[in-house]
Amino acid sequence: MSQERKRWYAIFSFILLGGIQALRKYTVGNDLHFQYYGNFIKYHHLPWKYIFGVKTRYEPGFLTFYKLVGIITDNPQIMIAVHSLFVIGVFVVFMYKNCDDLPLSIFLFVTMNHWFQSMVILRQILAVCFLLIATEILYSKLPMLVRYLSFIVLLLLAMSMHYSAVVGVVFLIMRNIKFNKTIFVVSTVMGGLLFFSDGIFDWVMEQIGIILESSSIYAKQYAYFSSQLLKESKYTMSGIYSFVPYLMTFVFAGVLLMGWRIVVTIKPGNWEKRYFRKVSFCGNYSNDFLMYSILIVVMAKILAFSLPVFSRFTQYFMPFEYVLLGRVLKKIYNPFIRRIIIIFIYGITAVAFIMMNSNLKLNARMTGTVPYLFFWQ
């Protein structure tokens, strides 16, 4: 766990995950297979003057990415490699700088299917990366004007990759508000009622539907995604697994980091000393910022049980799960309990990962990133 070993672990992770992703065949990742690969061939030589005028569902920033890679080569495999190495590089650097337990963070990045998602949603994952860079600058020690102007520029760049990145505006708000016990209790109760009460859940979804259908901007998007409603997905392994880890992290982080007088230990001793002990964490992010990030993920995941489009917005907040989970574990006083919990997390997430991806036909149809049918053919 020394800094040097952590650095080498980050380098190894980048080479392994980035290398596999960069060398994968274009058939790995359904969107890559059916959209991005062929459209790179179609658009990479597009003149600059048409970048903002061509009629396509792709945002101008992503077309610019195509164009920049196209200046170097017309080989689509190089486009895949450039995209993969940039994405994995941003995530690994982010986790290296901010996560107190880097091996566990990398492990969860894979087993929570975040790595596989990055092979499918090429436009949005670029937007996520630019917003991660923006939040790093926002929490840096640069002059305030430089930080905020840089954040706005990178936010606009992220939106040029995928319009959903507009949700990044809330980072500016979260940066400056506190997360207290009252917010924790109220949000926990509201989330519980929303998740366990079908009546409340259906009413909330009906109100969201009314609002979206009345919007000239989002009506078409709502009609598209509402056709994908899968009410039975609420209690499937995939739906629960994509929700419960964030819920558990939020609850335990709220208990251990937000000032509750609770010490996790099995040994007698000076409880006051243990409660008030100082624990230094990696990175500059405040616990308030991280708590709000995971709260948004939890609420959006609940809504996504009925309206899958909300899962799209969670992508921008999910990376902060790895940061917050490491802080929760570090806050646990007793080493024995901490190790047991870490082993439990490794075991449960590994089993869940295998179960989620055991249906090869379903996985191939939904994402096209089947982990057991290897990438090169």
- Check residue 263 and give its pLDDT: 63
Cα distance between residue 326 and residue 333, in whole Å = 13
Side-chain half-sphere of 333: how many Cα atoms within 13 Å?
19
Cβ count near 265 (within 10 Å): 15
Location of structure tokens 């087993």: 111
Query: Residue 257 region, left (φ>0) first, then alpha (ψ -120 to 50), else beta?
Result: alpha
Query: Can you say whether the dihedral through the CA atoms of 73, 74, 78, 80 is positive or negative?
Result: positive
Q: What is the DSSP string of 89-144?
A: HHHHHHHHHH-S-HHHHHHHHHHTTHHHHTTT-HHHHHHHHHHHHHHHHHTSSS-H
Cα distance between residue 280 and residue 220, in whole Å = 48
- Check residue 84 and give its pLDDT: 95
Query: What single-letter amino acid sits at 282?
Result: C
Residue 362 DSSP SS3? helix
Record the pTM.
Answer: 0.85
- Check residue 362 and give its pLDDT: 64
Cα distance between residue 111 and residue 108, in whole Å = 5
Structure tokens that stand for 179 in this block: 């997360």
Cα distance between residue 245 and residue 351, in whole Å = 13
Query: What single-letter amino acid sits at 40?
Result: F
Cβ count near 29 (within 10 Å): 26
Cα distance between residue 354 and residue 370, in whole Å = 11
Torsion of the alpha carbons at 102, 103, 107 and 109, rounded to the nearest 10: 20
Q: Which of 319, 369, 327 is nearest to 91 (CA)?
A: 319
- Check residue 251 and give its pLDDT: 83
Task: Please answer whether residues 17 and 102 qualify as being in contact, where contact means their C-beta atoms are separated by less than 8 angstroms.
Answer: no
- Check residue 86 and give its pLDDT: 96
Angle subtended by helix axes 181-196 and 198-213, to nearest 10: 90
Q: From first to last of the 377 residues of the chain, give the pLDDT tens digit.
A: 678 899 999 999 999 999 999 988 888 888 888 889 998 998 888 888 777 777 777 888 899 999 999 999 989 999 999 999 999 999 999 999 999 999 999 999 998 888 988 998 899 999 999 999 999 999 998 899 999 999 999 999 999 999 889 999 999 999 888 988 888 888 888 777 776 666 666 666 677 667 766 766 555 555 544 544 444 444 444 556 667 778 888 888 888 877 776 666 656 666 666 666 677 888 889 999 999 999 998 888 877 776 667 778 889 999 999 999 998 888 888 888 889 989 998 998 888 787 777 766 666 666 777 665 555 54
